[in-house]
Amino acid sequence: MGGVGLGWIALHPPHHAISPGEERNVRAAARADSVEFRDVELTTPDGAILRAWFMRPKDSNGNAVILLHGVSDNRLGMYGYGKWLVQNHYSVLIPDARAHGTSGGELATYGLKESDDIHRWVDWVETNEHPRCMFGLGESMGAAQLLQSLPKEPRFCAVVGESPFATFREVAYARFGRQFHVGPWLGKTFFRPTVEVGILYVRLRYGLNMETASPERAVEGLRIPVLLIHGLSDRNIPPYHSDRIQSHNPSDITVWKVPGAVHTGAHKAAPEEFERRVLGWFATHSAAAPAH
């Protein structure tokens, strides 16, 4: 029963919509900074209506970044990064993931369906903005989804992921250990039957094979430069997840581990270095745009 309950909860995370007041504040800030601000909407093949904000600075450098939030969050959680990137002359698209914020979709699938959603968002940006380079920046679940989109989305010049999970199974093990302040060994041993039942329940009930939600396998053989950022004090998704991902493509993946940073807390722990590294990563790889 625990496995069934956990499987259901994982696919139905808490839903936090953006309030009208928050929306007004974001629009007012864009007007004050002379930033073009648009609502964007697209419909996926399975009928989910996805929604996003698009912002273009007055003095755009011709590049665009898609920003992807974590589980149970919404696009407002990435708005701070969006505003920062706009100030640095990047256009940004900030979507609500399916089953999050104001986007539709019955289930959060941790990359199984979201990887195709990201492909469609890139289509929208390419069609409407024709960027010189397309970049991605994701946090936690958003980082894992971004990595899983790369095999079918070669148009990214480079991407940055903070605190991604290596596989859905491995992060399930880690979550059990976190509750008792121990490592993933507890999930792999005592709670392993619970994890197995949860994965089996999701597959039988919803037709989703969570075994294939695997950023570490998605990066194999890719030639898209990836910067992974992970806090050394991350107890939610421990930093060995980024090590595992890098081990599957060491030539194209760089890992920066941040002392004192908790889950998705690298910017708070080292704001100047975070901004320098991310902007430098995009600038370094903006000259080598992939062929379309």
Q: Give the span between the Cα atoms of 283 and 213, in whole angstroms.
A: 30
> Is residue 40 assigned to a domain?
yes
Is 289 a residue whose pLDDT tops 60? no
Asked whether 103 and 95 are in contact (CB, 8 A), the reply is: yes
Q: pLDDT class for 131, splitting at 50, 70, 90? A: very high
> Is residue 291 assigned to a domain?
no
Structural domain boundaries enclosing 15: 2-285
CATH at residue 177: 3.40.50.1820
Average pLDDT over residues 103-132: 97
The half-sphere exposure of 64 on its side-chain side, counting CA atoms within 13 A, is: 23
pLDDT value of position 55: 98
- Over residues 9-62, the pLDDT tens digits come to 889 998 888 999 999 999 999 999 999 999 999 999 999 999 999 999 999 999
- Over residues 237-269, the pLDDT tens digits come to 999 999 999 999 999 999 999 999 999 999 999
pLDDT value of position 292: 45
β-bridge pairing 63-68 and 36-43: unpaired
The residue length of the chain stands at: 292
Is 133 a residue whose pLDDT tops 70? yes
Q: At what angle do helices 168-179 and 192-206 cross, to 10 degrees?
A: 130
> Is residue 292 assigned to a domain?
no
Domain count, the chain: 1
